[in-house]
Amino acid sequence: MTSERSYGSDDKRISAPNMPEGMTPEKESATSRGTHFNLSEVRLEMDKLWESVMAGRFPRLASIHSMPALDVLERDGKVLVRADLPGLSEDEVTVEVDADGVLISGEKRDERELKEENYFRSERTHGKFTRRISLPARADIENASAIFRNGVLEIEMPMRPEPEKKRIDVRSES
């Protein structure tokens, strides 16, 4: 069984033998009794579940503390991370890159006032978010760059070349 997944026409197809759909060698995974779990996808699904529960019971709270939507893909020999951060400016977003991955954090403050003749309403909301994304081992974090444009954060870093494989002769012990 071979699994292939593509994110767009220019994106590199990643395939690996005997791996479940969506699983790639570079993705963070854990094994339990031979079953593969993609921890990044499990966390994303848990975030979505939490947001849907919060949105149903506490819509204002859910909108403040929502995790930003992310896309992570490999294109043209580079890793590209896109985060939707509507309503934020580059001053409200922090990006840190290390061997463990990319950490995106931010803080959103929202103040609204409604004034009418005999009516005044003022609301203030405040929320923080943090998102950590694992990177492929070949990502060159020393050359990472980030651009914030129209509410979308784009983090880009080149991929180091694949290490060369060396064939080793196997001898018998005599």
Q: What is the CATH number of the domain that holds 126?
A: 2.60.40.790
Enclosing domain of residue 123: 68-160
Span 38-87, pLDDT tens digits: 676 777 777 777 766 665 665 555 444 457 888 999 999 999 999 999 88
| Domain-located, residue 107 | yes
Domain count, the chain: 2
Span 85-104, pLDDT tens digits: 988 889 999 999 998 899 99
The tokens of 64 are what?
A: 């403040």
The reply to whether 39 and 120 lie within a common domain is: no
pTM assigned to the model? 0.54
- The pairs formed by 134-140 with CB atoms below 8 angstroms and a separation of 24 or more are 134/27, 134/28, 134/39, 134/40, 134/100, 134/101, 135/79, 135/101, 135/102, 136/26, 136/27, 136/74, 136/79, 137/26, 138/26, 138/162, 139/79
The reply to whether 104 and 118 lie within a common domain is: yes
| Domain-located, residue 41 | yes
The reply to whether 51 and 82 lie within a common domain is: no
